Amino acid sequence: MNDTHVHPAAEAAPDDAAQAGDATELDVLRKERDEAADRLLRLQAEFDNYRKRQDRERRELGDHFASELLGEFLPVLDDVERALAAATASSEPVLASHRQGLELIHKQFLELLKRRQVVPIEAVGADFDPNVHQAVGQEVSATHREGEVIEDLRRGYRLGDRLLRPSMVKVATRG
């Protein structure tokens, strides 16, 4: 009988190699899983950023169109105000009867602007600010400060922080 004796270390070697191979494969799988999770997190963050950017761009585009449309209404409001001033100054019965209609239209315009958060720029008495005023004239004045707005020739308006139209003003100077 041939007794072959196998050394215990020799018997364990194939199992150790299999376990080492399993461990390496497990490490590779864990690494792939971690990379996939990282890619998923990055994609989620990119999608979140994309959604936020789209929302912001949509809001900005809406604000831009609202600004343009409201800006186009302002000259009509100016004309209504001029017509109202002329009707108020006149003693002719025809113009006096039209004044009520003009007052109603004027009130509706102002309510529309208010609902849309459009506010007039208060210019008279303020210091000239080139960010909101457009100087179209100067007048020597001893009763006003240098650079003080003394007359608002065309009212300016803001929509929130956005300037719809600057005020056209006359500014005091020292002679």
Q: What is the pLDDT of residue 92?
A: 74
For the whole prediction, is pTM greater than 0.85? no
pLDDT top residue among 91 and 164: 164
Is 151's pLDDT higher than 70?
Answer: yes
Q: Tell me: the pLDDT tens digits for 32-45?
A: 999 999 999 999 99
For residue 165, what are the β-bridge partners? 157
Residue 57 vs residues 44, 51, 139, 159: alpha-carbon distances, Å: 20, 10, 44, 18
Q: What is the pLDDT of residue 95?
A: 66
Average pLDDT over residues 54-61: 92
Q: What is the pLDDT of residue 22?
A: 76
Three-state secondary-structure class, residue 154: strand
pLDDT top residue among 12 and 22: 22
Beta-sheet pairing, 149-154 with 167-173: antiparallel
Among the listed residues 135, 174, 162, the one whose alpha carbon sits nearest the alpha carbon of residue 69: 162
Domains and CATH numbers, the chain: 119-175 (2.30.22.10)
